[in-house]
Structure 1
Amino acid sequence: PPPSHTHNLLPYLFLIIKNLNKAINMKILLQIYKRALNNYPILTQTIQTSILMGAGDAISQIFIENKGYKEYNLLRTSQFCTVGFCFLGPTLTVWYRLLAKHIGMKGSLVTVKKVALDQFLFAPFCIGMLLTVLGTVQGQPPKETIKKLKRDYTDIMIANYKLWPAVQLMNFYVVPLNYQVLVVQCVALSWNTYISWKTQSQSRNVE
């Protein structure tokens, strides 16, 4: 079998990570991050969501689709970053703050109420909007976006309920408000990878 294109990119990735570790003092970086999170919570969480959504698409292209340097679709990654910055990041941040304001911050019953609202009210809306916004950013005609919604929505919602209720139970119960979006987006690296693969694999099937 032909060698995987992934192996062509791995040395470059490891080299970049190694050089970044040398160049950046992680302790100072964490201090800057905490300060930004306290002073500009919505903007900071929006930027981190954008970065992590792009990372999810990159993982999908490199490790699942086995794309090499020449085949890598940088535009697609930038589209995921755009959706994270313009839609998902601010939406998640505002939603969690609304939950904290109207439901409360701590306690078992508060956590259960938050998870119920998050998974049965917010998640169906957010996933539908995410697929719609992604389709729009990627230049799909409205009819094609609706067709993909009908085809993909149920599968993605089923996958959502296998992962996110347990994550959100822990997140709402243990994690401080300012870090809840970060926890979600770190777990969502695998979720964003799945969304990227799912939407792109369906696009290839349509073609």
Structure 2
Amino acid sequence: MTYRFFKYYQDFLRRRPYLVQAIQTGGLMATGDVISQVIIEKTYWRDTDIQRTLKFGSIGFFIGGPALRTWYGVLNKYVGSQGKIVAIKKVFLDQFLFAPSFLCILLISVAALQRKTWDIIKVDLKSNYFDVLTTNYYIWPWVQILNFYYVPLHYQVLVVQIVALFWNTYLSWKTNKQIALKNL
């Protein structure tokens, strides 16, 4: 059963890489949001905000998955696919070009889906962006060096998304902290 599922996954990934990456990123972001609500924010299962979860997951489906797959493809094409130096170059580019811009887009997207005004979004960015980016630098360079050095391109987004389950839980909590506090 597991072998058949993995074989189906590999075949689907080969035929539709962007769709697979979008589905798994959206699903894992939604899961991270549920974990945030239930474990961190101590919401009962029956009281979870399904709309919030769907919105957070949609960012993964429409933005995160496609952006990550495209980015990793660009890195693979222009930087290379193997070797220690290649992995280090990829991590540098990933952390100093992609991560800052992607996190900004992510934070703006979450706030926009929360129907915040542009003035509130700017305030949220000012108070959260550097904290999120700093936390990113504690986690992701180490994950990415292993990912870029050992993992084939078509599995790199999956590896990142497995680790990102915890990261998405943090991001969901961070971007919904004020809303969660109002509901207490």
Mapped partners of 2:82, 2:45: distance in 1: 47
The structure with higher relative contact order (CA 8 Å, sep 6+) is 2
2:160 to 180, 184, 192: 184
User: SS where residue 45 of structure 2 aligns?
Assistant: coil
Per-residue deviation, 1:140: 1.4
* Structure 2, unpaired ranges of 5+: none
- TM-score in terms of structure 2 length: 0.95
Which residue, out of 126, 136, 149, partners 2:102?
126
Correspondence list, 1:56-75, <5 A: 56-75=32-51
4+ residue runs over 6 A deviation: none
User: Cα RMSD between the aligned structures?
Assistant: 1.3
CA contact (8 A) 1:60 1:197 kept: yes
| 1:8-34 Cα shifts (integer Å, max 9, x gaps) | xxxxxxxxxxxxxxxxx3322211111
Deviation (angstroms), 1:206: 7.7
Q: In the alignment, which of 13, 27, 42 is matched to residue 18 of structure 2?
A: 42
Which of the pair has more CA radius of gyration? 1
Counterpart CA distance in 1 for 2:127 and 2:182 is 11
Pairing 1:173–2:149 present: yes
Q: Are 2:183 and 1:194 aligned?
A: no
Does the Cα contact within 8 Å between 1:83 and 1:137 map onto a contact in 2? no
| Structure 1: gaps spanning 5 or more residues | 1-24
State the TM-score, normalizing by the size of structure 1: 0.85
Q: How far 1:88 moved relative to its partner?
A: 0.7
Distance (Å, rounded) in 1 between the aligned partners of 2:76 and 2:13: 17
